[in-house]
Amino acid sequence: MKQMKATTLPTDVYLSFVNSLFGNRGTLFTGVVVHVAWCLIVYSSTGSTFYVGMSFAFVAVFLYRIYGFRQYDRLDRQALTRKKVADVERAYVIGAASTALMLGISSGYALLVLENTTVALTCVAMTLGTMMSIVGRNYGSRHAVDFQTLGCCVPIMIACILTGEPHLALMSLLLIPFGLTTRSMAKGVREFLYENVIASREMAIIAGRLDTALTTMTHGLIMLDGEARIEVINRQARDLLSIDPLLDIKDLDLLDVLRHDAANVPADALRDIERLAEGKLNRALLRVGEEQHLEFSVSHRTDGGVVLIFEDVSARVAAEQKILHMVRFDSLTGLPSRGHFGELANAALARQGGKLASLVVIDVEGFKHVNDMRGHVVGDRLLGAIGARIGSACADDCVAGRLIGDEFVLFLTGSDRNSLERRIRQLHTEIQGAYQVGDLRLVMSMNGGCVIADAESFAMEPWQIKADLALNDAKVKGNGSLVVFRPEMDARYVEEQKLRTDLRQALEDRNLHVVYQPMYLPDGSQIECFEALVRWTHPEKGMVGPNIFVPMAEEMGLVSLITKFVIEQACRDCANWAKPVPVSVNLSVHDLQNADIVGFVTETLAKYGLEPSRLHLEVTESCFMNEPVAVSAILNLFRQKGVTIAIDDFGTGFSSLSYLNSLPLDIVKIDRAFVRDIGSDHRRLKLLRGIVNLSRELELKIVVEGVETPEQLEIINRHHIADLVQGYIFSPPVPADAIAGLTPKTHLSNKASGGVRRRAKSSDTRSLSAAS
């Protein structure tokens, strides 16, 4: 190691060296007593007063040094600057060097002046003996060692040389290696001290940093030896385990501490902590309080011990539990969601047993109407009320859940089929009826489909399919019906799926065809328009009605393809007719969900060179229910291009009269329901005439659909109800190649009028006869 200098040492290390000079002060007192006694002995032996003076000098230097020591004790060592430390060292060196110099002078005086060999020998022995203590006391200061060595040796060497004795002079030169050895020894001690001071300081820094890290870290840390005794524990670990921070637990068994001093750690958590401490478990999530969870991880040490690191994950566990609850339970009704319902159903089956089990799917009838008319807020509150009633109606024998939308599901077990079905019907009855939603009283019906089978065969997916099949039948019946699944429903479902596949194939192969039903003037004298109607002839089943395959196409998302097929076929046929008679095509609600249909119609008209006025587009009232503004905008685009717009099946929907004023309509087609009993139901006739008068006030053309009997036609003509008549009274739908053979039907109109007049006359005659 290079020679250390005070100017290169760190101040704190330099101070520690200087501080070592002021230790072991008892030697100072021993030294001054010995030195004074020695001087007095020499004086008594030689009578030389020089040594009396030296004794006083030793006392004076001793007092000076004691004063310096006292002054040093009063200093604030932490506030000392490097310069002040150097001043303290200098004052000490002066005192120590003065004592050494007086010893050297006393020995040289004895050799040179007294010429007393015995006294000279004792003086040199005293001086060299004192030099031996230089290393042990003054190693901390290079200057103290150097000056004391010089102070002792130089006077003796000078005295030996001045005696003129060559042998004595040569012997005095041996003090040089002696002094160098003393200096080297002091240097070695000083360097060793330096290394230890630096190492201690670094260890203190590391220990301080480690202590800070352990104290401020958010994780708890416990270091255990191979016997599970605590070696290190930080403050966070004490806080998390509720251990008294003032309790000394070092070298104590961790489990004993937790049992006696950590009241919040339950027994099951203690067992897991024991397994962690033994290294049998690497990770664990433990519940140590009502709502406190700690997650532990273990690191193994080479000496057989372990380090436990853990943190409070209560917030994370609470969040995970909340997320899990949100996944498992429906936020609107509080009932289990579909996935969790299946788990609960299996658990109930294992717990309750029973030979039979039942899965019930319930649909809220007319819920869409509530949403449309009252808004989604009311709809959501209604679902919440229904969920609450279902939850309260279900006892321990029933598991309830929400599937999706307005569908709910129940699971029950039992031993007897009849009693199980009675319980299902009881629940079905209890959840129907009136619901109070805010200020509204809503009377709701629930259609239900259920499957009852052996409990051992329960599986959520296939059972739900069967319950849905039964529910479809219940929806057809309506009015809160409950239908139990029958095996033939399964076969019908398979058949329906095959029919869906065949329909998709028929669309791809363009195996659908279009027929046309004429619309006559009320007197049957002329055809004014044809309605294009799609038909499907199945290769195996024959004719499949549009009331079957059109709703199926809507569910499959294929109805727009059918619409485009009919529009293109109708435009092609219409362009080839001899007379410029318009053709009318129906649009579904799916066709009006975006404006693409406008572009398609425009391109088709241009493709076949057909005037836009010859194309009539019919829309039903259901098209306006969800997005009336968007549908109205699309219809206005058609009007701008010259296409005629008709409203079909008028009078069967909601708020029909408002549509007459708000939508861009040209024609009103009155549904057959108003014509069916027109001869016997005078109220219906009045309602029909009122609709007609209102429509004509709005300059709309009237088409009456479903006219089938001469009596209906006669009444329509008598009251001037229709501008056009469509129905089997004049003609059923016919293929395109049969249109040319259609003729006027005036004879039907005349026959209808005559028949009515004859019945009226006969009635009058019978009335007169009866009166007479």
Q: Answer whether 305's CB lies under 8 Å from 327's CB.
A: no
**CATH no., domain 217-317:** 3.30.450.20
Distance separating alpha carbons of residues 484 and 361, to the nearest angstrom: 11
Distance separating alpha carbons of residues 592 and 67, to the nearest angstrom: 110
**For residue 526, with 0-12 CB atoms within 10 Å meaning exposed, 13-18 middle and 19 or more buried, which class applies?**
middle
Query: Could you give the C-alpha distances from 290 to 265, 270, 294, 325, in angstroms and in order?
Result: 10, 15, 12, 19
Q: What confidence score (pLDDT) does residue 766 get?
A: 33
**For residue 765, with 0-12 CB atoms within 10 Å meaning exposed, 13-18 middle and 19 or more buried, which class applies?**
exposed
Buried b (16+ CB within 10 A) or exposed e, 637-653: bbbeeebbbbbbbbbeb
Distance separating alpha carbons of residues 195 and 188, to the nearest angstrom: 11
Q: What confidence score (pLDDT) does residue 5 get?
A: 53
Distance separating alpha carbons of residues 691 and 688, to the nearest angstrom: 5
The DSSP H or E segment spanning 409 is strand 407-414
Q: What confidence score (pLDDT) does residue 761 get?
A: 39
Q: Answer whether 449's CB lies under 8 Å from 485's CB.
A: yes
Name, in order, each residue with C-beta under 8 angstroms of 552's C-beta and a sequence gap of 6 or more.
Answer: 496, 499, 500, 503
Tokens of 66: 């004691």
Q: Answer whether 138's CB lies under 8 Å from 144's CB.
A: yes
Q: Answer whether 413's CB lies under 8 Å from 348's CB.
A: yes
Instruction: Look up the CATH architecture of domain 332-485.
Output: 2-Layer Sandwich (3.30)
Q: What is the residue extent of each domain of the chain?
A: 11-202, 217-317, 332-485, 507-758
**Radius of gyration of the chain measured on its C-alpha atoms:** 57
Averages of pLDDT over runs of 10 residues in the chain (772 residues) are: 57 77 78 87 87 90 87 83 84 85 86 81 80 70 81 85 82 80 76 74 73 73 85 83 81 81 71 80 79 83 83 83 80 87 87 85 90 86 91 85 90 90 92 91 92 90 90 88 88 84 90 94 93 93 90 89 94 92 92 88 94 93 73 89 89 61 85 84 86 88 92 91 93 92 78 50 34 28
Distance separating alpha carbons of residues 136 and 185, to the nearest angstrom: 9
H-only helix segments in 586-735: 596-608, 628-640, 656-662, 682-697, 710-718
Q: Report which DSSP code applies to 4.
A: P
Q: What confidence score (pLDDT) does residue 763 get?
A: 37
Q: What is the DSSP string of 100-134?
A: HHHHHHHHHHIIIII--HHHHHHHHHHHHHHHHHH
Buried b (16+ CB within 10 A) or exposed e, 141-158: bbbbbbbbbbbbbbbbbb
Phi, psi of 763 (to 5 degrees): -65, -40
The DSSP H or E segment spanning 437 is strand 433-437
Distance separating alpha carbons of residues 92 and 138, to the nearest angstrom: 10
Query: Could you give the C-alpha distances from 724 to 534, 653, 706, 717, in angstroms and in order?
Result: 22, 22, 12, 10
Q: What confidence score (pLDDT) does residue 753 get?
A: 59
Tokens of 48: 């030389």
The DSSP H or E segment spanning 295 is strand 293-300
CATH topology of domain 507-758: TIM Barrel (3.20.20)
- Among 30, 160, 142, 174, which Cα is nearest to 104's? 160
Q: Answer whether 663's CB lies under 8 Å from 624's CB.
A: yes
Longest Cα separation, the chain: 194
Place of tokens 């005349």: 750
Query: Could you give the C-alpha distances from 194 to 13, 207, 214, 317, 609, in angstroms and in order?
Result: 7, 19, 29, 54, 109
Tokens of 145: 């060692």
